[in-house]
């Protein structure tokens, strides 16, 4: 039960982490940096991937047991929290759907990779 609560809290906190990474990336970008067509792939996807990877490393022991269920809880919490934050700031539905899809894609890819490489019990 404690592990589930920890995953939910980290899923909620992941939104703050990825937004902070996006702010740092934009503030360190050159003045001519144009994100007109590539905003989601050059800024959102890397920041979400970094946050998910850091959480997978921090919560190594939590994810290593019952990986599928716990990964789904974390990814769903992260995606729903992002959906709530973006909807609260009146973002267009297409952008919200893209953010949620990126979060779910990155979480599935990274946590699935960690499972395949490290967490799967070898017999």
Per residue in 32-70, pLDDT tens?
Answer: 777 778 888 888 999 999 999 999 999 988 888 888 899
Q: Is the pLDDT of residue 121 over 80?
A: no
pLDDT for the residue numbered 35: 78
86-95 mean pLDDT: 94
Q: Helix 45-58 to helix 93-114 angle, to the nearest 10 degrees?
A: 40
Q: What is the mean pLDDT of the chain?
A: 91
Is 48 in contact with 111 (CB distance < 8 Å)? no
Q: Helix 45-58 to helix 2-27 angle, to the nearest 10 degrees?
A: 140
d(CA 95, CA 80): 14
In the chain, alpha helices (H) = 2-27, 39, 45-58, 60-64, 67-88, 93-114
Q: Is the pLDDT of residue 123 over 60?
A: no
For residue 113, what pLDDT band results from cuts at 50, 70 and 90?
very high
């Amino acid at each position: 039960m404690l592990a589930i609560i920890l995953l939910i809290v980290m899923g909620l906190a992941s939104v703050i982490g990825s937004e902070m990474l996006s702010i740092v990336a934009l503030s360190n970008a050159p003045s001519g940096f144009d994100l007109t067509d590539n905003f989601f792939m050059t800024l959102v996807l890397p920041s979400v991937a970094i946050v998910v990877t850091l959480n997978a490393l921090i919560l190594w022991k939590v994810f290593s047991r019952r990986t599928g269920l716990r990964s789904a809880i974390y990814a769903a919490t992260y995606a729903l929290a992002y959906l709530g934050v973006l909807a609260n700031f009146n973002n267009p539905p297409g952008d919200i759907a893209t953010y949620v899809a990126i979060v779910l894609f990155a979480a599935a890819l990274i946590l699935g990779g960690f499972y395949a490489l490290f967490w799967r019990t070898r017999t």
